[in-house]
């Protein structure tokens, strides 16, 4: 008999749900036993309903699973890949029943009782779980661009306090769900707007880089863009510190982390990297950083960070948070 912990997946047929399935297939600790989706999918097999868009084949075992209603799942651990408006009511109802819900949705990210986690950065925020009123728990992962900004900024806090951060994102198509943005709108084009995204990046970054109960204090200005890239969000960040900073020190910090935690930071030194098409792997959890430069001012540096929006930006992040929760709750 399997010793892995049973997991249920809500919103199993979307791009994030599909990536969760591929990542859990050989996971040493967790085993996917239940899939749930909308009413229209309930009762069908997963294979009948999903438009499978992954690099690896749909595991036959999962393809044969019957899709359940959201509230019928039994597994103690739940990964939610639901749209935010559905997550808003379903996630606390399941937490109330005692489940541990790890959510990709934005509904509870900014709730002061809910940890918004990048495990390598702010696992101390798990202390917020003691504030939750439910029998179970809700944990959340960041927006799929926030993680590449906050994850790269976190180690740079060792160089001093931030005054202001200017951010431009270039976000892939798979970040918009399936079928997402019509091809007529996106092929050969760039759309300089994604609803709600700029505020999410701004607020979530300050929550993640702050103390558990107090957001970090610095300015953030964000412009987001949807670009015709399949997977991989790129973030260009210019960081103004409160005191002078040296770009070489930034490179050294990333180089050290890349050695110590290769699943967290990948440092690129080539002048034309990182690139989504060339540098991402299907199960890539790395935050790829490069193009580190001194700004015109002695207190300002710039860098590019990039990563897989469905892996580090969603499914892989949710699984990493469940792993972290497992250590915390032991
Ligand atoms: P999505 O289009 O937001 O969600 C699709 C899934 O939700 C499908 O399984 C769908 O089931 C289910 N669903 C839709 N309406 C439902 C309802 N009324 N009741 C129950 N289930 C319902 O797809 P996604 O892109 O995979 O995103 C999932 C969540 O993760 C979203 O909250 C999104 O914002 C967040 N997120 C996405 C990314 C990304 O890069 N895509 C990154 C980070 C976070 P049916 O097939 O039955 O319709």
Statement to judge: residues 47 and 22 lie in one domain: yes
pLDDT for 2 equals: 61
Task: Mark whether 144 is an active-site residue.
Answer: yes
Q: Which of 99, 125, 231, 233 is catalytic?
A: 233
Q: Does the pLDDT of residue 183 top 90, yes or no? A: yes
pLDDT for 330 equals: 78
Question: Average pLDDT, stretch 303-312?
Answer: 98
Q: Does the pLDDT of residue 302 top 70, yes or no? A: yes
Distance from the CA of 105 to the center of ligand 1, in angstroms? 8
pLDDT for 3 equals: 86
Statement to judge: residues 33 and 169 lie in one domain: no
Statement to judge: residues 30 and 127 lie in one domain: yes
Domain count for the chain: 2
Query: What predicted TM-score, i.e. pTM, was given to this entire model?
Result: 0.97
Closest CA to 9 of 281, 24, 284: 24
| Contacting residues for 183 by C-beta, under 8 A, at least 6 apart | none
Domain CATH code at residue 94: 3.40.50.720
pLDDT for 195 equals: 97
Residues in the ligand 1 pocket, defined by CB under 6 Å: 11-17, 37-38, 40-41, 49, 70, 81-84, 86, 104-105, 144, 174-175, 177, 309-310, 313-314
Q: Count Cβ atoms within 10 A of the Cβ of residue 188 and give its class: 0-12 exposed, 13-18 middle, 19 or more buried.
A: exposed
Statement to judge: residues 138 and 151 lie in one domain: no
Q: Which of 99, 102, 125, 144 is catalytic?
A: 144
Distance from the CA of 301 to the center of ligand 1, in angstroms? 36
Statement to judge: residues 12 and 79 lie in one domain: yes
φ/ψ (deg, to 5) at 25 = -55, -40
Statement to judge: residues 159 and 210 lie in one domain: yes
Q: Does the pLDDT of residue 141 top 90, yes or no? A: yes
DSSP-assigned beta bridge partners for residue 237: 167, 303
Statement to judge: residues 158 and 200 lie in one domain: yes
Task: Mark whether 231 is an active-site residue.
Answer: no
Distance from the CA of 20 to the center of ligand 1, in angstroms? 12
Q: Does the pLDDT of residue 264 top 80, yes or no? A: yes
Q: Which domain holds residue 91?
A: 5-142+314-329
Distance from the CA of 15 to the center of ligand 1, in angstroms? 7
Statement to judge: residues 256 and 150 lie in one domain: yes
Statement to judge: residues 282 and 150 lie in one domain: yes
| 41-61 pLDDT per residue, tens | 999 999 999 999 998 999 999
Exposure on the CB side of residue 19, measured as CA atoms within 13 A: 27
Average pLDDT, the chain: 97
Nearest CA to ligand 1 atom 31: 83
**How would residue 1 be classed by pLDDT, with cut points 50, 70 and 90?**
low
* Planar angle of CA 191, 193, 195, nearest 5 degrees: 135
Domain CATH code at residue 204: 3.30.360.10
Statement to judge: residues 55 and 165 lie in one domain: no
For a substitution probing ligand 1, which of 37, 42, 196, 232 has the most ligand atoms within 8 Å of its CB? 37
Statement to judge: residues 54 and 94 lie in one domain: yes
Statement to judge: residues 132 and 157 lie in one domain: no
């Amino acid at each position: 008999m399997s010793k892995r912990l049973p997991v249920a997946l809500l919103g199993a047929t979307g791009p994030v749900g599909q990536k969760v399935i591929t990542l859990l297939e050989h996971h040493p600790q967790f085993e996917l036993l239940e899939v749930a989706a909308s009413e229209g999918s309930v009762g069908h097999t997963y294979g009948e309903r999903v438009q499978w868009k992954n690099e690896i084949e749909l595991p036959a075992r999962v393809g044969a699973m019957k899709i359940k209603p959201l509230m019928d799942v039994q597994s103690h651990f739940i990964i939610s890949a639901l749209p935010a408006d559905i997550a808003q009511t379903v996630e606390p109802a399941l937490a109330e029943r005692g489940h541990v819900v790890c959510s990709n949705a934005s509904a509870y990210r900014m709730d002061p009782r809910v940890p918004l986690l990048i495990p390598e950065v702010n696992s101390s925020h798990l202390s917020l779980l003691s504030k939750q009123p439910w029998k179970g728990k809700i944990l959340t992962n960041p927006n799929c661009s926030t993680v590449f900004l906050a994850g790269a900024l976190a180690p740079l806090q060792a160089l001093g306090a931030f005054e202001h951060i200017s951010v431009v994102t270039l976000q892939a198509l798979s970040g918009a769900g399936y079928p997402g943005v019509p091809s007529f709108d996106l092929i050969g084009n760039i759309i300089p707007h994604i609803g709600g995204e700029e505020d999410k990046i701004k607020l979530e970054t300050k929550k993640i880089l702050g103390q558990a109960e107090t957001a970090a204090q610095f300015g953030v200005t964000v412009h987001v863009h949807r670009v015709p890239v399949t997977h991989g969000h790129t973030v260009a960040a210019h960081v103004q510190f409160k005191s002078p900073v040296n770009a070489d020190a930034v490179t050294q910090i990333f180089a050290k982390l890349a050695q110590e935690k290769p699943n967290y930071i990948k440092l690129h030194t080539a002048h034309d990297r990182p690139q989504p098409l060339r540098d991402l792997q299907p199960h890539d959890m790395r935050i790829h950083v490069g193009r580190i430069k001194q700004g015109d001012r002695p207190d300002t540096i710039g860098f590019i960070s990039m990563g897989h929006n469905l892996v580090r930006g969603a499914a892989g992040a949710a699984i990493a948070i469940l792993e972290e929760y497992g250590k915390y709750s032991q």
